[in-house]
Chain A
Amino acid sequence: MLKFIASAWVLVGLVIGFVMPRAQDLKTTPIAFFHVPLAISMLLLFVLAAVWSIKWAFFGRDARDDARSLAFAEVGFVAGLIAMATGMLFARTNWGAYWSWDPQQVGVLGTLLTYAALFALRGATDDEGTKRKLWTVYAVLGVLVACFGSYVYRQILPPNASLHPNQTLTNSDALFKFALWFNVAGYAMLLICAANVRARFEIIANRLDERVWRGT
């Protein structure tokens, strides 16, 4: 049911994004209603991945929770890649270059590289128990890096160090903020649906692995 609501929500959000008046000092404004929600959803999915892994570690050691954690992290990673790609297109039209070593760009790149390394580390461990224990640490470490890279890093720099507009989410006019948060909710729901489907495949793969080990 959520997938139908999420898809309809995103569709409405898409149209809202296109009929909105152009934001001040920004060209190709509709990208903002896709790029920003994906970046926020990425962070949300990384937080949820850490929550599932903590649930695995402290509340029952259910392998399905670990599978969900991995799925949320993977879908968050893909959302981050798309956010970065659309951000580069956005940057090209607004700042004249795809990449300008902006603190926000560097922060998100650092976050994505960190997660890529964490996935590789998880994949390099053979024992399932050890893999899940280590993943709990990785997921928590990853979300700390993600929070720092995509939010804190830019806040601790001088106000004009970043080309990204400051406080867009809080200081824009009410209509712009509504359209932005409407889209954030839609994309977050859609990505959560995708992560749940990915988790189901991981759970099936775990059961098949167990069967191979049992020799049945």
Chain B
Amino acid sequence: MTSDSLFVLAVSVLTLGGVFFYLLRVEALAKKLEERVRDEDVPRR
């Protein structure tokens, strides 16, 4: 593998890592919102 290919591979891996962590972050946000909406749906006494 040439050094150019290695560079592109490294950039691709970093990009993929970024996408993965963003996906995790967004999923955590979805979970938090779901819990909040569920809690607020429970009728208050």
Which chain B residues lie closer than 8 Å to A11 at the CB level? 13, 16
- List A residues 1-58 near B (Cβ within 8 Å): 3, 7, 10-11, 14-15, 18-19, 30, 34
Q: Is the CB of B9 within 8 A of A14?
A: yes
Does any Cβ of B come within 8 Å of A194's Cβ?
A: yes
Given contact pairs A11-B13, A14-B12, A30-B8, A204 touches B37 in the complex (Cβ within 8 A): yes
- List B residues 1-45 near A (Cβ within 8 Å): 1, 5, 8-9, 12-13, 16, 19-20, 23-24, 26-27, 30, 33-34, 37, 40-41
A7, B13: Cα distance in complex, Å: 10
A50, B30: Cα distance in complex, Å: 24
A211, B37: Cα distance in complex, Å: 10
CB distance from B11 to the nearest CB of A (A): 11
Which chain B residues lie closer than 8 Å to A208 at the CB level? 37
Q: Is the CB of B26 within 8 A of A197?
A: yes
Q: Is the CB of A197 within 8 A of B20?
A: no
Contact with B along A103-119 (1 / 0, CB 8 A): 00000000000000000
A4, closest chain B residue (CB): B20
Does any Cβ of B come within 8 Å of A200's Cβ?
A: yes
Given contact pairs A3-B23, A15-B9, A194-B23, A200 touches B34 in the complex (Cβ within 8 A): yes
Does any Cβ of B come within 8 Å of A201's Cβ?
A: yes
CB distance from B8 to the nearest CB of A (A): 7
- List A residues 175-216 near B (Cβ within 8 Å): 190, 193-194, 197, 200-201, 204, 207-208, 211
Partner pick for A193 among B8, B12, B23, CB 8 A cutoff: B23
Which chain B residues lie closer than 8 Å to A10 at the CB level? 16
A53, B15: Cα distance in complex, Å: 32
A14, B12: Cα distance in complex, Å: 8
A19, closest chain B residue (CB): B1
Q: Is the CB of B27 within 8 A of A3?
A: yes
CB distance from A8 to the nearest CB of B (A): 9
B26, closest chain A residue (CB): A197
A to B CB contacts below 8 Å, 7 in the list: A7-B16, A11-B13, A19-B1, A30-B8, A34-B12, A197-B23, A207-B41
Please name the 3 residue pairs, one residue from A and one from B, whose CB atoms are nearest each other, closest first: A200-B30, A7-B20, A18-B9
Q: 8 extra interchain contacts, Cβ-Cβ under 8 A, other than A18-B5, A18-B9, A207-B37?
A: A3-B20, A3-B24, A3-B27, A11-B13, A14-B13, A14-B16, A30-B8, A30-B9
